[in-house]
């Protein structure tokens, strides 16, 4: 998509225009902005996923639309057979052990801000909630979903990842904040780590934390969680890298207007670009399932790529409909999409 910007603005205007646009877009692309209408309260129990006329208006290939529910969903995550997702200023829990017959188990009261990213471990949900900081919810006994504690970040909390008893929080002003959450009622700041620019998302895997933001892609060794050490980086991405997923020896990065970035991380000290695939839209979210990568491509829907050969991506399917696609989680071919104002959508990918 970045090539189309050059054609539109021209080579003379584009440098100045981008400097002005980047300053404003840093925060705008990291989170949605809207008013605060009353949150929708989802009915507990089984969910009917019969698609309606709205669902079938989009164009698709190798994708079935199963249905949708709720509204204003911008974040979601899977923990086993449970899906945690935002509904306005609240979070909800849905059992998807039977994908065709999901069951809503519980929903929290409203947060002071909208959920932007969610991580779950040991019966607690950790929610990066923008200006409301990190909110921690006890989700051990749904339908009870109650706030156990919170930490007010200096800026907006944009992302969260869990390492042992610590939560790594992407803070729009303080970069990475490391919290001891062994007592969820009293999260305590233990350290911080500075990465240039704005950190948007964090992924924890094994002994590493993978970070994406306006300064590219960073790999931190967190063997000592309160003393992270950068072991590798790749700076050749766009300024609007949104999210990262790691599968095998590769990192797949939703890189905003630059599309989908594929990095070989076999040698974590030297991440090597394999492919920068210019998706049609604005890559905001990314997830992997078997040999496929799913990209929430902003206004251009869901794009699905076969990554058996990461250097030669091929599109295996897509679903496009009006509105923005913010985030995606996938399990066994079922894709759960955060579609902003349109709520949570459930799609089924049919392998070619």
The total domain count for the chain is 1
Domain carrying residue 113? 2-349
Per-residue pLDDT of 298-324, as tens digits, reads 999 999 999 999 989 999 999 998 889
Listed in sequence order, the DSSP H helices in the chain are 2-9, 14-28
Token pair, residue 151, equals 């930490």
Beta bridge partners of 120: 125
Per-residue pLDDT of 189-213, as tens digits, reads 999 999 999 999 999 999 999 999 9
Per-residue pLDDT of 320-341, as tens digits, reads 988 899 999 999 999 999 999 9
Which helix (H) or strand (E) is 158 found in, with range?
A: strand 157-163
Residues in CB range of 250: below 8 A, 6 or more apart: 262, 263, 264, 265, 274, 307, 310
Residue 190 maps to which CATH number?
2.130.10.10
Percent of the chain with pLDDT over 70: 87
Indicate whether 12 pLDDT > 90: no
């Amino acid at each position: 998509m970045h090539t189309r910007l050059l054609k539109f603005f021209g080579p003379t205007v584009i440098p100045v225009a981008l400097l002005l646009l980047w300053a404003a877009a840093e925060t705008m692309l990291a989170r949605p902005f809207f008013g605060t209408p009353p949150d929708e309260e989802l009915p507990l129990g089984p969910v009917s996923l019969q698609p309606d006329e709205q669902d079938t208006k989009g164009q698709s290939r190798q994708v079935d639309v199963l249905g949708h529910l709720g509204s204003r969903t911008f974040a979601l995550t899977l923990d086993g057979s449970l899906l945690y997702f935002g509904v306005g200023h609240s979070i909800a829990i849905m059992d998807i052990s039977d994908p065709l017959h999901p069951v809503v188990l519980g929903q929290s009261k409203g947060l002071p801000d909208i959920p932007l990213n969610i991580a779950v471990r040991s019966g607690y949900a950790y929610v990066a909630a923008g200006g409301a900081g990190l909110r921690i919810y006890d989700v051990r006994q749904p339908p009870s979903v109650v706030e156990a504690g919170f930490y007010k970040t200096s800026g907006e909390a944009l992302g969260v990842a869990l390492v042992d008893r610590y939560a790594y929080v992407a803070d729009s002003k303080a970069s990475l904040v490391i919290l001891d959450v062994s007592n969820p009622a009293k999260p305590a700041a233990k350290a911080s780590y500075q990465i240039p620019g704005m950190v948007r998302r964090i992924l924890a895997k094994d002994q590493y934390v993978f970070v994406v933001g306006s300064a590219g892609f960073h790999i931190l060794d967190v063997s000592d969680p309160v003393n992270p050490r950068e072991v590798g980086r790749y700076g050749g991405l766009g300024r609007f890298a949104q999210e990262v997923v790691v599968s095998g020896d590769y990192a797949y990065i939703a890189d905003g207007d630059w599309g989908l970035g594929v990095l070989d991380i076999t040698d974590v000290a030297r991440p090597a670009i394999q492919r920068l695939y210019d998706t049609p839209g604005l890559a905001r979210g990314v997830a992997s399932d078997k040999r496929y990568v799913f990209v929430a491509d902003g206004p251009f829907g869901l794009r699905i790529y076969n990554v058996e050969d990461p250097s030669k991506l091929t599109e295996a399917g897509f679903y496009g409909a009006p509105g923005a696609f913010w985030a995606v989680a996938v399990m066994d071919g079922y894709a759960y999409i955060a579609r902003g104002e349109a709520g949570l959508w459930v799609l089924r990918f049919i392998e070619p």
